[in-house]
Structure 1
Amino acid sequence: MSTAQPARRFFFILLTAATILFALVARPLASALFLAAVLAGVLWPAHCWLSARFRGRRGLSAAAFVLGVIILLMGPVVAFSAFAIKEGSEGVRYLSQAIRSEGVTGLVERLPQPLAGLAKRGLDQLPAQDEQNLGKTVQKQVSAQGGKAAAVVGATLSATGALVFQAVMMLIAFYFLLLQGDQLVAWLDHLSPLKRGQTRELMAEFKKVSYAVLLSTIITSAVQAVAALLGYFIGRVPHPIFFAGVTFFAAFIPAIGAGAVCLVAALLLFATGHPYSALFLAIWGLLVVGLVDNLVKPLLIKGGMEMNGAVVFFALIGGLSAFGAVGLLLGPLVVTLFLSLLRMYQRDFKTAV
């Protein structure tokens, strides 16, 4: 008895130390592992169906899903980069030719009226010699920087190395969870100190919430893109389909949001001499497109969860504030865990007084 007690204490000290070290090891990859687990849980039925079509070759099915996720992630990035390089190169070429043939004054006269007046007043403050030198300087700088447009975009993409690393880790974890996810769930259920079946019950709740959040996010982003597309057509934004596509993917990023794309398009309209269309699009983006996210998403999530709509709304806002972008998933999951544990306690542990 006397030797068992110190051994028990030492064991719990080792267990605590190992838990802390494990948390430190997992912390850098926590977001990637969490997203991989959510995707694997949501896509598990489709994975089982595809595995059956591949005659039980689960590795081939998992690889197909990983390839699909890569295409969904990289497709928009490649398309947007190609568009930015093309438009940027054409803009630099246009500026260089205009300055070479007509000078700064001729370029200013081509500007839309809201910008032309400001530029002319600025040029009027300069002596003629300074204006001539300004034209040569601008032409020289534009020509020098024109060839660097692609390099700037490449440098911007390379600066996202941490994001790429997290994405790669997420894809690797996603593959192995699809390959051996059922074995992992069985092992956790066996290892968990909860009653047999309770761990699976919690995971089933997590799966249901994850599915509801992901589906609602996709539908909400699509609705926002359609609403923004209508505004782009009314405001006569150039390349409206492209801007609608950017709006769809920007809606997945809380730090940007769909409304930000509408504001960028409004600035483009203002710079090209359409102030009233720009004002309309800015108001449309803030009121119509912005409110879709706050109204539609909680309603859709509520439809897939046994939770009050107000609780869903504050779970989304609180999760976003506490955990960042991943909080849109983690917030409702934390609330679901809390409510599920209360329900288990009421059902399995509470004794009649």
Structure 2
Amino acid sequence: MASDQVARRVFIGLIIISLLLMALIVQPFAKGFFLAAVLAGTLYGLHQRLTRVVRGRSYLSAGVLTFGVIVALLLPLTGFTAFLVTEIADGVRFVQQTLRQEGIEGLMERLPGPVRNLIDKVMERLQVEELQLDDKLQQQVSSTGGTAAKAVTGVVAATGSFAFQTIMMLIAFFFLLVDGKQLVEWVESVSPLRRGQTGELLREFRLVAVAVLVSSLATAGVQSVAALVGYLIARVPVPFFFAAVTFFLALIPAIGAAVVCFAAAGLLLITGHQWMALFLAIWGVVVVGLVDNVVKPLLVKRGLDMHGAIIFFSLLGGLAVFGTVGLLLGPLIVAFFLAVLRIYERDYGRPSGRPSDPPTPPSAST
């Protein structure tokens, strides 16, 4: 008996060591795998229906959905990023060419009136001669070449890391759709929990993930529409483009949709529309900025059996601890905690039925 207990303890230690080693292996791809699991859980019902349509060809259905994810999510983001990079590069090139060919006067003539007046006042206070300013600007443009090269290298490295994580996510997403059911059955078979408890926890995770993902997309849509109303009222140039930018950035909590409103307000300010800029900045804070804190918890609550305050603080807490992915991890951790308590109370807690009667106090005569 003692030898069996020692072997059991050693084997438990080996399991813990293997789990730690597995965590080290999975850690570089953890975010991609997590997002793949969320997407697979969200789209698994659609995968099953599409598999029946293509006569049981699960690989074909998973390939179609993977391609759909690429088209629906990655291509717009890639095109938007390429557009921004191109516009910024064209702007820098225009400034450099104007400075070389026409000098500071040519560049000043092309600036909006308020910006030109502000620069004139600064130049008067600093008492800088035009030739000196031209020389200094030329030197600055030349000296920033190395800094720009370093910035470009950093952007390329970040883009490469993002592309790698995205590829890992798509591969994991494909195989989770194809073999997800067998994986869940295997996890249930090796789980030390009672029969059905592991499946209940996994279903709870799927419910929370779907609710948070759908609410994030819906909230970004509501924020972009609210921002579009403000852009139209303030007469921002190309308002629909700014609304599209608002939608994409609303999906990134570290940046947020209100940042686009501030950028548009700054554009209005430098073009001489001070009151419209002030209105748009206030609109971005009061209307667009608060939508995320009000609409998202309400939308998540519709799909979950949790109090709105719990959802609100789980979203903020997850964001503070884990970053952007915490918007999913926060509610998942809270849902896991509540599900464990519920299962324990149901299967191991007090038996259902009438509670036992309290003990009768002794009589005063005894």
- TM-score (normalizing by structure 1): 0.90
Alignment partner, residue 120 of structure 1? 120
Alignment partner, residue 214 of structure 1? 213
The answer on 1:2 being equivalent to 2:22 is no
Alignment partner, residue 248 of structure 2? 249
Query: Partner of 2:253: helix, strand, or coil?
Result: coil
1:216/1:300 contact within 8 Å kept: yes
1:114/1:273 contact within 8 Å kept: yes
Count of residue pairs brought into register by the alignment: 351
Whole-angstrom distance in 2 between the partners of 1:315 and 1:52: 38
Change in 2 beyond 3 A, CA 1:53/1:97: same
Alignment partner, residue 337 of structure 2? 338
Alignment partner, residue 364 of structure 2? none
2:77/2:248 contact within 8 Å kept: no
Change in 2 beyond 3 A, CA 1:188/1:96: closer
2:103/2:134 contact within 8 Å kept: yes
Counterpart residue identity of residue 9, structure 2: R
Whole-angstrom distance in 2 between the partners of 1:208 and 1:261: 32
1:85/1:150 contact within 8 Å kept: no
User: How much has 1:270 moved relative to structure 2?
Assistant: 1.6
1:232/1:281 contact within 8 Å kept: yes
CA RMSD of aligned residues (A): 2.7
Whole-angstrom distance in 2 between the partners of 1:327 and 1:220: 16
Alignment partner, residue 12 of structure 1? 12
The structure with more radius of gyration: 2
- TM-score (normalizing by structure 2): 0.87
2:319/2:326 contact within 8 Å kept: yes
Change in 2 beyond 3 A, CA 1:80/1:120: same
Query: Partner of 1:194: helix, strand, or coil?
Result: coil
1:40/1:177 contact within 8 Å kept: yes
Alignment partner, residue 34 of structure 1? 34
Whole-angstrom distance in 1 between the partners of 2:140 and 2:319: 43
Whole-angstrom distance in 1 between the partners of 2:198 and 2:206: 12
Listed one character per residue, the Cα deviations across residues 114-165 of structure 1 (whole Å, up to 9, x for unaligned) are 322321123335667x41243366468769999x999976862443222222
Change in 2 beyond 3 A, CA 1:150/1:48: farther
1:269/1:277 contact within 8 Å kept: yes
Runs of 4+ residues over 6 Å off in structure 1:
139-146, 148-155
Alignment partner, residue 224 of structure 1? 223
Query: Partner of 1:273: helix, strand, or coil?
Result: coil
Query: Partner of 1:159: helix, strand, or coil?
Result: helix
Counterpart residue identity of residue 327, structure 1: G
Alignment partner, residue 188 of structure 2? 189
User: How much has 1:45 moved relative to structure 2?
Assistant: 0.5
Listed one character per residue, the Cα deviations across residues 330-349 of structure 1 (whole Å, up to 9, x for unaligned) are 11111111111111112111
Alignment partner, residue 56 of structure 1? 56
Counterpart residue identity of residue 261, structure 1: V
Alignment partner, residue 178 of structure 2? 179
Whole-angstrom distance in 2 between the partners of 1:151 and 1:61: 43
Whole-angstrom distance in 2 between the partners of 1:209 and 1:344: 17
Change in 2 beyond 3 A, CA 1:81/1:163: closer
Whole-angstrom distance in 1 between the partners of 2:89 and 2:4: 76
Whole-angstrom distance in 1 between the partners of 2:191 and 2:54: 33
Query: Partner of 1:56: helix, strand, or coil?
Result: coil
Query: Partner of 1:55: helix, strand, or coil?
Result: coil
Alignment partner, residue 76 of structure 2? 76
Percent identity, please: 53
Counterpart residue identity of residue 15, structure 1: I
